[in-house]
Amino acid sequence: MTTPSTTPDVQVPDALSYKNLVDLMAIYSDATGRMAALETELQGEWLALVDAKRNEFARLQHLLGESEEGIEQLATTNPQWFAKAKSLKTPYGTVQFRSTTKLIAASPDVTIALIKADGEEQKGLYLRQSEELNLEALEKLDDHQLARLHITRSTSESCTVKPIKIDLGKAVKKAAAEAEKASSTDH
C-alpha cells in the first residue's frame, strides 16, 4: 500500500465538481447528437424542396435569359432611347448601356521596341519588368500617341438589366415623415 508521501501530486476532483462535469458532458454530447440529426433532417428537407422547385427554377431561368436577350435586342435597335442618357428607367427596372475600352497592341514586340527607343523614362513608365505592355499606363495616352506605337483603342458596349428594388429605408423614412406631419397637424 502506498502512503500519501510517496504518491505523485495528482489533484483528485471533488465528487460534486466531477458530477457537474459529467452532467455537462452528457448535455453537450446529447446536444451535439441532436444538432447532427437536425442538420441531416434539414438537408433532406432542403433536397426535397429543391427537387419540388427544380422544374419551376429551370423554367424561370430560361424565361429570364430569353427576356434579357429580347430587352437587349430592343435596346440595341433603338439607340434613340439612349440619346440623352445611357440608362432608361421603366416601372419594372432599368436598362443601361456601359462603354468599356481596352487597348489592343497589334504587335506587342514592335510596340515594346518603339517604347524602348523613346528612352529610359518611357521604358520605366510603359513597360513592365517582364517587358510586357503596361496597358493601364498606355490607356492615358491619346489615340495619336497610341497609333504611333501601333496600338488601337477598342470600345465595346455591354447591356445590363436590373429589376426594380424597393428601398425600404426610403419607404420607412417617408412613412415616418408623413406620420410626424400628420401628428403635428392634429395638435
Q: What is the pLDDT of residue 105?
A: 94
Q: What is the pLDDT of residue 131?
A: 82
Whether 5 is covered by a domain: the verdict is no
Contact 134, 180 (CB under 8 A): no
Whether 124 is covered by a domain: the verdict is yes
Spans in the chain with pLDDT lower than 70: 1-13, 161, 163-172, 186-187
Predicted structure pTM score: 0.42
Whether 150 is covered by a domain: the verdict is yes
Q: Dump the DSSP string for 99-154.
A: EEEEEEES-HHHHHHHHHHT-HHHHHHHB-TT--B-HHHHTTS-HHHHHHTTEEEE
Q: What is the pLDDT of residue 167?
A: 63
92 Cβ contact list (under 8 Å, min separation 6):
163, 164
88 Cβ contact list (under 8 Å, min separation 6):
75, 81, 82, 94, 95, 96
Whether 173 is covered by a domain: the verdict is no
Is 59 in the same domain as 122?
A: no
Tens of pLDDT, residues 126-171: 888 778 899 999 999 999 999 999 999 998 888 876 766 656 566 6
60 Cβ contact list (under 8 Å, min separation 6):
none
Q: How many domains does the chain have?
A: 2
Q: Which domain holds residue 110?
A: 88-163
Select from 99, 119, 112 the least CA-distant residue to 159.
99
- DSSP assigned state of 83: S
Q: List the end-to-end C-alpha distance of the chain, in Å, as a whole number.
A: 93
Q: What is the pLDDT of residue 164?
A: 62
Q: What is the pLDDT of residue 143?
A: 93
Is 105 in the same domain as 56?
A: no
